[in-house]
Structure 1
Amino acid sequence: MTKALDFGSVKLKHLALHKVGNKIQEEDLELSDFELEVEENSPLHKSLMAYFLKPFREGGYYHFTDESEDLNLNEMFGFSRRLFNDPFEQFMPQSREIAKHLYNTSTHPNIKGGEFYVAYLEDCIVDGEVVNAIGLFKTENKEKFLKVKDQKTGAWAIVQDEGANVKKLDKGCLIFNFEEEKGFKICLKDSPSKNVEAQYWKESFLRLKKREDSFFHTQNYLNICKEFVEDVFNEEHNVERPQQMDMLNRSMKFFTENEDFNIVEFENSVMEEPEVIDAFQEYKDQYKEKNEVPVFDEFKISSTAVKKSRKDFKSVIKLDKKIQINVAGNEEHIEKGFDDEKGMSYYIVYYNEEE
């Protein structure tokens, strides 16, 4: 199967390093005048390429956006377009402008300063297309390490230093020279934290919106299914845990076994009962309004989105600390009750054969 995102033939053509502090803390912005020279296939080159590219996986793409819907008002879109149009002449000037823009958007007191790399990459493969890309990578967290030095006198010296872990990229993005009219196609690496200072990379510096593709629509619907079970199809509405697990299993099964999504087929196959279907439709409308996202009734199912969401569809009932019931179907063979004499809840499981 062809990879949607393939970096096997990528070439690092230009690389710049700037130091970007926290503006509100009056830290410095140190801009470089020259490109970094890195010998191709050297140990340093291999480490940098792994550091830059390994965190990115297919699925979940973004575009540049602006509240006015005029892309020309998004600074990063302008810098990127100028760089793509003339990478030889514009690489250093635009890399400096991008670093200045990052500095000007680093205005939360908790944002950490750090090294900021700007790279120009050739021959990235995105959805079968060979395209160039701009890579932006910021190092914020440093780790201490020990380095042993040979003193040439029969003795060794141990020096403590600190630096970036090449296996832990803090913040990054890849801007592909693809779909310029929509705001380019972009991969994002960011902190999972929802803190304001953690969101500046995506919200203030880049100003991105999710790309509305099959991954986007599949992930949206899977989120709706999961949250519907948590918020509505639950014990507060007289739905026991085995039935909840079964609903999640049937939802995941539908997305796993079908290539195309159709709302009528999904509701008839998974929800079945008219009152459950009505409740789901009402919840779907609320989700759409609350999250301000489009929810389509027909789309191509993304297997990548299904794989990424599978871990969130838990089908295990945990009892106390050491007992688990894995519900993979036949929830009607599981009964829940309460023993008044023991003052404890219980489950009864009916089965035909023991394996």
Structure 2
Amino acid sequence: MLNLYGTQIESISIHRVGNKNRNEGIFLSSEPFALNDETTGLLKEYFFKPFREKEENYFKLANEVDVEFNELHKISSEIFLDPSTTHHNSKKIATHLFDQSNHPHIKSGEVYIAYLSNILLDNHKVDAIGIFKSELKHDFLQFEEKGSNLDLLVQQGININKLDKGCLIFNINKEEGFKVLSVDSNKYDTKYWLENFLGVDALADENFYTKNYLKFCQNFAKDVVLPAEDKQQEVLFMNRAVNHFAKNDAFEESNFLNEVIENPELIPEFKHYKVEKGPKYSIEDVSNFDIANKAVSDARKKIKNVINLDTNIQIKMDFINPESAEKFVEKGWDEERQMYYYLVYFNKEQKT
């Protein structure tokens, strides 16, 4: 769990990186930017807001030979060893980004490299290096008094409510490639940011396994439970799966199968499906791991718990109380109408 509310910006350097393909250059500031209370508050909100709103999908800096050959790993190691070198090394980071900016779709923009302290990561205080990039420029209006008239000026600037790209490199797990969190609101050039610049691999931690296992379960429900039974049982299976994760601190597959799969005939189907599809989610050999609560909450929001009927009626199941759907919703077949039906029991209608 990441908490950025108490984070301090110890220093920040601002550079501009152009697109090599369009013969745009690079501008490196000679000195760090001088922060004051106003700019610090604005920049903290600009930099950190996307990370508070985003799923925590962690990465690690990597290289196909050894992580020490990853350019950002070398630079980050120097900065963490001596934070006073942040500005000097920020020029190396901006230059490394410039070297990757040779695709015609990549936009020029300002790059901010900050040394951050007092970050709470999994209830431990850590330092981090923040690398942020603003790309898209927006028109805005300025007004100026000219004699007896108010003049209107059209200018361009960045929208501080939307960061284009950013990453946090935490000073933890150096030997494995540090722990990295990235955001990118412009999905068309993700390869340039994640692969070419950062050079990251997914970090296989509890968040990774929780998220991927639930995605795997969702596809099992769609590909196996739905054809074998019906839409109601598909939704109920995912209800039980999510609630099993929500109420446990650690995952153990045999306990999960016994609690979540009510039809015993589907257990061998689940195991076969895992052999076949598990590698896609990197869970083929995983049967035990700690559960990340935030990943469960994020998954709960994304999983559809609605039965859509061809009569333009929707039945929404409750993830919090799945037993209600089992006790008070029945499916049947009407011979006279030659149609399926759902019978719903209730005491009174709730006010919305």
Is the shorter-chain TM-score for this pair beyond 0.5, marking a shared fold? Answer: yes
Amino acid across the alignment from 1:251? A
Report what 1:250 is aligned to. 240
1:352 deviation in Å? 6.0
1:338 deviation in Å? 8.2
1:303-351 Cα deviation digits (max 9, x unpaired): 111111111221111235852111342189432658897xx95523142
Q: Provide the secondary structure at the position in 2 that maps to 1:54.
A: helix
Q: Provide the secondary structure at the position in 1 that maps to 2:302.
A: coil
Report what 1:168 is aligned to. 162
1:56-88 Cα deviation digits (max 9, x unpaired): 1373322111122x1111111001111111221
Which segment is superposed worse, 221-230 or 208-217? 208-217
Identity of aligned residues (%): 35
Structure 2: stretches of 5+ with no match in the other structure: 319-324
Amino acid across the alignment from 2:309? L
In structure 1, distance between residues paired with 2:336 and 2:185: 48
Distance 1:352 1:137, change over 3 A: closer
1:292 deviation in Å? 4.3
Q: Is 1:83 paired with 2:79?
A: yes
1:35 deviation in Å? 1.3
Q: Provide the secondary structure at the position in 2 that maps to 1:104.
A: helix
Corresponding residue to 2:204 among 212, 221, 238: 212
Aligned Cα RMSD in Å? 2.4
Report what 2:31 is aligned to. 34
In structure 2, distance between residues paired with 1:163 and 1:321: 50
Distance 1:133 1:298, change over 3 A: same
Amino acid across the alignment from 2:304? K
Instruction: Tell me the TM-score normalised to structure 2 length.
Output: 0.89
Amino acid across the alignment from 2:315? I
Report what 1:347 is aligned to. 341
Q: Is 1:309 paired with 2:303?
A: no
In structure 2, distance between residues paired with 1:163 and 1:215: 37
Corresponding residue to 2:180 among 183, 186, 210: 186
Alignment of 1:181-330 (within 5 A): 181-191=175-185, 193=187, 195=188, 197-234=189-226, 237-292=227-282, 295-319=285-309, 322-328=312-318, 329-330=325-326
In structure 2, distance between residues paired with 1:257 and 1:141: 43
In structure 1, distance between residues paired with 2:199 and 2:78: 18
Corresponding residue to 2:330 among 329, 334, 339: 334
In structure 2, distance between residues paired with 1:192 and 1:30: 23
Question: How many residues of Structure 1 are paired with residues of Structure 2 in the alignment?
Answer: 341
Report what 1:156 is aligned to. 150
Structure 1: stretches of 5+ with no match in the other structure: none
Distance 1:338 1:150, change over 3 A: farther
Distance 1:352 1:17, change over 3 A: closer
